[in-house]
Amino acid sequence: MHYVSTRGHAAAQNFSEILLGGLAPDGGLYLPAEYPQVTSAELDQWRTLSYADLAFEVLKKFATEIPQADLRALAHKTYTADVYRNARSGEDAGQITPLSVLEEKDGSKLLLQALSNGPTLAFKDMAMQLLGNLFEYTLAKNDAQLNIFGATSGDTGSAAEYAMRGKKGIRVFMLSPHKKMSAFQTAQMFSLQDPNIFNIAVEGVFDDCQDMVKAVSNDHAFKASQKIGTVNSINWARVVAQVVYYFRGYLSATTSNQQKVSFTVPSGNFGNICAGHIARMMGLPIDKLVAATNENDVLDEFFRTGIYRVRKSAETYHTSSPSMDISKASNFERFIHDLLDGDSERVRALFHKVETEGGFNLAGGPGSDGDEFTKIARFGFQSGKSTHQDRLDTIRDIQQRYNVTIDTHTADGVKVAREYMVPGVPMIVLETALPAKFNETIREALGRDAQRPAGFENIETLPQRFEVMAADVAQVKRLIASHTGL
């Protein structure tokens, strides 16, 4: 399996070669030269597999140069009941991402797929725990070091830091928007005292942090000298790890490969739903992929109109689903590459236009950049938007009807999913986090605190270690260099 850049000017590489990197040297994102296909016979065989074995079966299609015994061992080291705490007991024991029926009405079925059983209580753990083990494995084979440089709007940072803490040869430098995460999210990251973890609070919004990561990634000399890698969703291995739970969700919701399901995915950076797109391209029988946004609705606008219009920092709202407070979806380029039938020169031109003019228009007509908007239906994409009031209403409704508490991002997903349910096609909403991570809004909606798992009762009172910094690329480079000694 070889990987190529969405922008076409980077040499093809294998999975291990792109694992530690992030952006391709030409500024594009890596994709397989061709998506591996899954047969109906394979789907039948996979129905009875454990999550770890299913992960191995999916991963081996993408990481073909890693010995299969090693890859299987990495999957089994990652996906255990010891790592995914809520999968330890009861009827869901060992399932890792258990599926539950939330509501059935008029022949339609709405399900929740639990993805927040990991150590930081968010879906990011599903990929990040694997990534930590893959990094350690690859670095040990090459007696190498890695300095991870990433950005987070809330959950990626803590998931990365918990996955990488104490890992040999790895340091983590994580940017986050200063005072724009929930108190729980902030405490999860900043309370870590591990010497290989460095938290940097940037005076700005998430997109400022993400732009800094891309600027460092595009400084090839600095990236090489400081051995910079990334764990943001531009990292291909993270996306592949997320593909696994789409297969698990489908197989758990169906009894026959002739059945289809749809997924609704709370979406900001387009990484999570991009994994669903890849699963669909591999042959998984997905009917619709519904992107649910919050007030930062750049993706909803595109899927409704064909216009991709990134927002400036001043136009990015700080919302009660803060992990989606993103106005430049960094994984979106992968989908556009597929939408344009792999025309890498056009992809390059369109995303140059994003950087210089703030967006592009594929709706056709005068002044547009193309007319591919009509092709989007072939890929099964739909979208919707949720507001703060929608979140409150949905959290209250789900609690009252089903005695289930959902977090703010999952509420965005449920609200939008209900708009697209059809008889005979189960709609799976990907749960994104436990409600305790966003207690301020849970208290507003329900008049009480969210339940907390053991070990997190007083996390906000722990000592915190972080550095506040302006959105200054040169300054963050100096900080990285001062701690690496490279």
CA distance 394 to 21: 39
Q: What are phi and psi of 240, to 5 degrees?
A: -60, -40
Q: Is 4 left (phi over 0), alpha (psi -120 to 50) or beta?
A: beta
**Amino acid occupying residue 165:** R
Nearest to 331 by CA among 407, 427, 240: 240
**Amino acid occupying residue 173:** F
- Supply the angle between the helices 183-190 and 439-446 in degrees, to the nearest 10: 160
- Map tokens 């890992």 to a residue: 167
Q: What is the dihedral of CA 160, 214, 363, 30, to 10 degrees?
A: -70
Nearest to 82 by CA among 96, 71, 69, 98: 96
The answer to whether residue 288 is catalytic is: no
Catalytic residue among 124, 167, 288, 415: 124
From residue 327, alpha-carbon distances to 1, 61, 291, 294, 474 in Å are 33, 32, 14, 11, 24
Nearest to 460 by CA among 155, 191, 198, 180: 191
CA distance 64 to 336: 26
Beta partners for residue 384, in sequence order: 292
- Give every CB contact of residue 470 below 8 A, 6+ residues apart in sequence: 202, 203, 204
HSE (side-chain half, CA atoms, 13 Å) at 325: 28
How many CB atoms within 10 Å of residue 102?
18
Which own/partner pairs from 351-359 qualify as long-range (CB within 8 Å, at least 24 positions apart)? 351/7, 351/27, 351/28, 354/308, 354/310, 354/328, 358/309, 358/310, 358/312, 359/307, 359/308, 359/309, 359/310
CA distance 105 to 10: 50
DSSP 3-state assignment of 360? strand
CA distance 387 to 416: 11
User: Active-site residues: which are they?
Assistant: 124
